[in-house]
Amino acid sequence: MKSEQSIFSETTGWQRKSDNTLSKKSQLVFLFGSRDLLKKQEHINFVKESYPAAQIVGCSTSGEIFQEEVFNNNIICTAVWFEHTIIEIAKESIGSMGDSFNVGKRLATKLEKDNLVHVMVLSEGLNINGSELTKGINDQLNNRISVTGGLAGDQGLFSETVIVHNQRGKKNLVIAIGFYGERLKVGYGSMGGWDSFGVDREVTKSNANVLYELDGQPALELYKRYLGAHAAYLPASALLFPLSLRLQDSNISLVRTVLSVNEKDGSMVFAGDIPQGEYVRLMKANFDRLVDGANGAAEMSKISLQDSGADLAILISCVGRKLVLKQRVEEELEAIREVIGEGVTTTGFYSYGEICPIKPFEQHCELHNQTMTITLFKEI
């Protein structure tokens, strides 16, 4: 496996960041960038001309990752040539959040299962129920294939996200990238680093990913009391105060972030399900623990790669982490580099949700929020 990278900015245009030796060979190109830039066909055409044999995939972001740097409103282009691996792409449109489960099933159905070793999902970031999407994928793959990925962002504006597949970015799309071949090894890990506080609150009324009541009280009203002055900046400020969701049947805790709020009925829409009868707690950031979480995700991904040195790392981190870390955001990328080592091509983006199994070697994927999620690739 070999890779090379370029960056586009409106001030400097396209700049090569490595030797351009793969133009006729690359089978896969990742584009992570500004929504407005990815909606311009001219940028996609440039990449097509540079890599005529490649499938071009990507999404809009809330920040782009290049090696140990974070960019805003650029495009990061990462072209990959596989010596022994075959790539297939499945694509689905989504009309409403309620169709998320079926979209996941249809995506997974489109991928040939023989020799399939991993699936990476890039999804619409707003008009989607991420946990239902992953349930649909798991249902079709029978928890036998590892799945990672993330939900597109739009710089925390919560207005429109786009997905790229061989043409300019469009909204309401979900793509699945299938990786085939026994010579490809994939490692993955996901970890947060947020602290819970306050008391457990019972989810007394919800419908899928829409939360109406906690402890019999309107959810939005209760949440605003917690937020205080931050409530004036909803929904963006909700990224700083996610909920910890404790699933009683499995003794698993997941993090959920708010996508939108409804002032009329006092409800809140989350990136994933908030099941009725479960318990949630508010969370807040701890700077050092966020960086430790990134380090932990890297350790997990390295373990599941079975300590083989990675060729490529895809990092998907929640935009809420970026808002907390601010000018020190690159410290979480530096913490990852210390674990995975120098010489690993690294790209990725800040997202509205992350997809990954909870533990190394597990193949049942879950939707996460507020985590750093890492996927490592190695050809042997």
Predicted TM-score (pTM) of the model is 0.95
Mean pLDDT of successive 10-residue stretches along the chain, which has 380 residues:
96 90 90 98 97 98 98 98 98 97 98 97 98 97 96 96 98 99 97 93 97 97 94 91 88 90 96 96 92 97 89 98 94 98 97 95 94 97
pLDDT at position 24:
80
Contact by Cβ (8 Å): 104, 135: yes
Where do the domains of the chain lie? 2-191+288-379, 195-284
Q: In what order do the strands lie in the sheet with 312-318?
A: 69-71, 64-66, 345-351, 312-318, 372-379, 184-191
pLDDT at position 115:
97
Axis-axis angle for helices 330-340, 287-304 (nearest 10): 30
